[in-house]
Amino acid sequence: MEPENFSKLQVHIDRYKLVAGGLLPLLHAIQDDIGYIPEESYAPIGKALNLSVAEVHGVVSFYHHFRTQPAGKHVVHICRAESCQAMGSTELEAHAKSLLGIDYHETSADSAFTLEPVYCLGNCSLSPSVMVDEKVHGRVSKARLDSLIQAARGTK
């Protein structure tokens, strides 16, 4: 872990170490700030919250939201919840996996994209929905997904 990330980690640990049930908000804060939960953080988190490394690891691995490796430059979330599935998100996710050459929870070899499932983006009336980085898009067809990914490639 880079020294600056270790400093950030300590700030979050100090904030949540005395909070009851602080592990989950702490993990969210770390991932929001650093982008992932470094495995080297399990020991200091456990020590501060009086948990074993195995317990911290268990929680991180239980929730698919948490990643233990840095994400790609862009994160593509495909909605897999009911409304989007009814409107074709299953084909859309197959297309995304083929287009990017990765499965869910993976990052492309060029580190440009990480693909993640999500269970409702609050955009059900415009299903199927996709989120690219922080922006939600509705009624996404395969062609529209191609365009979104192409546009993301052109940024950063």
Query: Given the rule CB under 6 A, which residues bind ligand FES?
Result: 79, 81-84, 120-121, 123-124, 127, 129
Least distance CB 116 / ligand FES (angstroms): 14
Question: Which residues are registered as beta bridge partners of 137?
Answer: 130
Closer to ligand FES by Cβ: residue 68 or 83: 83
Distance (Å, whole) CA 8 – CA 26: 12
Nearest to 30 by CA among 72, 70, 73, 78: 70
**Residue type at 72 in one-letter notation:** G
Least distance CB 32 / ligand FES (angstroms): 21
Token pair belonging to 115: 């693909």
Closer to ligand FES by Cβ: residue 73 or 142: 142
If phi over 0 gives left and psi between -120 and 50 gives alpha, with beta otherwise, what is residue 65? alpha
Closer to ligand FES by Cβ: residue 2 or 134: 134
Least distance CB 36 / ligand FES (angstroms): 25
Closer to ligand FES by Cβ: residue 114 or 129: 129
